[in-house]
């Protein structure tokens, strides 16, 4: 009897302990659940939350020389502005075949306009050159008596002289018909004025330095042999549009460039430059068809008349 009472009391005590632990576990679970809910609903920066939001790299000034004050309060850092890309296509000029005439730089070298010095001045000048010079004497002998007498025109027997050949191609002495090297003819004649027109053929194959060197050596040779001769370097004449279209390497753009080279040579050698080509160009920079003998390159008698008039009114 006593034993049964003890057993019953033990069972009651065991059930009480079980109820206690079940209740304790339930309370613990509820506390954990409330804690998780509270943490998930909390915002960074709320009181009681010690949250470090600073990234180790973000917001730090890496430049020790930069002493600017950091942003404070609610100021927001503005992003750096980057220049907008220009999406407008570059402006391009409409292609044109017209040569761009560049007038000679005005200096003591370029012969300025003077009074008309007349026939007397013209008869003192000898003309050395290529086929564009040969026409001066040719048209004089064919009725254009206002031009230059053929006795004052120096060319080879072929009628033309290229700039790179002046030192080894013989020149015809118009007084005797004898072929002579240029230095010998200069020493014989000692002209008061020598007008040189060369380079139109050279523009098709001569580079700038080669062109200038060839012209400079010619001028220095004249100065050496006939030091009292006043030297005039004449501009190369323009060509017609039709001649350019032949595509033989001679065009007005190259001619204009070469005329500047000739002026440079005149300046460096202390001689004169004559821009007679300006008397021949039309408004587009070309030689008008009415000024040519028909081939687009060589002048006719009327055009040579314009050149001679320019020479007489732009005297040394």
- 118-312: what fold? Rossmann fold (3.40.50)
Contact status, residue 172 vs residue 155, Cβ threshold 8 Å: yes
Angle between helices 208-225 and 182-189 (to 10 degrees): 40
Q: How many angstroms separate the CA atoms of 44 and 151, rounded?
A: 110
Res 108: pLDDT: 84
Place of tokens 């460039």: 257
Res 26: pLDDT: 76
- The SS3 assignment for 180 reads strand
**Strand-pair category, 272-274 with 230-234:** parallel
Q: How many angstroms separate the CA atoms of 122 and 146, rounded?
A: 10
Angle between helices 208-225 and 252-269 (to 10 degrees): 40
Q: How many angstroms separate the CA atoms of 316 and 304, rounded?
A: 19
Determine the length of the chain. Answer: 316
- Domain residue extents for the chain: 118-312
Res 62: pLDDT: 41
Q: Tens-digit pLDDT profile for the chain (316 aa)?
A: 444 544 455 555 555 556 666 666 777 777 766 666 655 554 444 444 443 333 334 333 444 344 444 333 444 444 444 444 444 444 444 444 555 556 566 668 999 999 999 999 999 999 999 999 999 999 999 999 999 999 999 999 999 999 999 999 999 999 999 999 999 999 999 999 999 999 999 999 999 999 999 999 999 999 999 999 999 999 999 999 999 999 999 999 999 999 999 999 999 999 999 999 999 999 999 999 999 999 999 999 999 999 999 999 999 9
* DSSP code, position 244: H
114-138 CB burial, b ≥16 within 10 A, e <16? eeeeeeebbeebbbbbbbbbbbbbb
Question: For the sheet containing 125-129, what is the strand order?
Answer: 153-154, 125-129, 193-197, 230-234, 272-274
Which residues are within 8 A (CB) of 239 and not within 5 positions of it... i.e. 6 or more apart?
Answer: 250, 251, 252, 255, 286, 287, 296, 297
Tokens of 305: 């008349």
Q: How many angstroms separate the CA atoms of 30 and 32, rounded?
A: 5
Res 65: pLDDT: 40
Which residues are within 8 A (CB) of 265 and not within 5 positions of it... i.e. 6 or more apart?
Answer: 212, 215, 216, 219, 233
- The SS3 assignment for 73 reads coil
């Amino acid at each position: 009897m006593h034993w049964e009472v003890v057993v019953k009391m033990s069972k009651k005590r065991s059930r009480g302990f079980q109820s206690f632990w079940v209740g304790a576990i339930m309370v613990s679970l509820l506390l954990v659940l409330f804690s998780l809910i509270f943490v998930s609903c909390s915002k960074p920066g709320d009181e009681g939350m010690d949250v470090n939001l600073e990234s180790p790299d973000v917001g730090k000034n890496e430049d020790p020389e930069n002493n600017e004050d950091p942003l404070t309060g609610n100021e927001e850092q503005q992003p750096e502005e980057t220049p907008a890309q220009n999406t407008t296509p570059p402006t391009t000029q409409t292609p044109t075949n017209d040569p761009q005439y560049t007038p000679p730089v005005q200096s003591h070298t370029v012969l300025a306009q003077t009074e008309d010095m007349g026939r007397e001045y013209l008869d003192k000048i000898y003309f050395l050159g290529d086929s564009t010079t040969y026409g001066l004497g040719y048209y004089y002998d064919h009725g254009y008596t206002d031009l230059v007498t053929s006795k004052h025109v120096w060319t080879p027997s072929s009628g033309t002289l290229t700039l790179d050949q002046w030192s080894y191609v013989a020149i015809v002495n118009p007084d005797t018909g004898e072929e002579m090297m240029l230095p010998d003819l200069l020493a014989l004649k000692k002209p008061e004025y020598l007008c040189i027109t060369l380079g139109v053929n050279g523009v098709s194959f001569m580079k700038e330095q080669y062109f200038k060197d060839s012209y400079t050596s010619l001028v220095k040779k004249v100065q050496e042999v006939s030091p009292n001769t006043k030297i005039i370097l004449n501009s190369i004449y323009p060509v017609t549009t039709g001649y350019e279209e032949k595509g033989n390497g001679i065009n007005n753009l190259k001619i204009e460039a070469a005329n500047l080279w000739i002026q440079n040579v005149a300046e460096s050698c202390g001689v004169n430059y004559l821009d007679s080509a300006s008397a021949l160009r039309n408004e587009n920079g070309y030689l008008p068809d009415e000024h040519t003998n028909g081939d687009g390159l060589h002048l006719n008698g009327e055009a040579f008349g314009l050149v001679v008039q320019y020479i007489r009114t732009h005297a040394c």
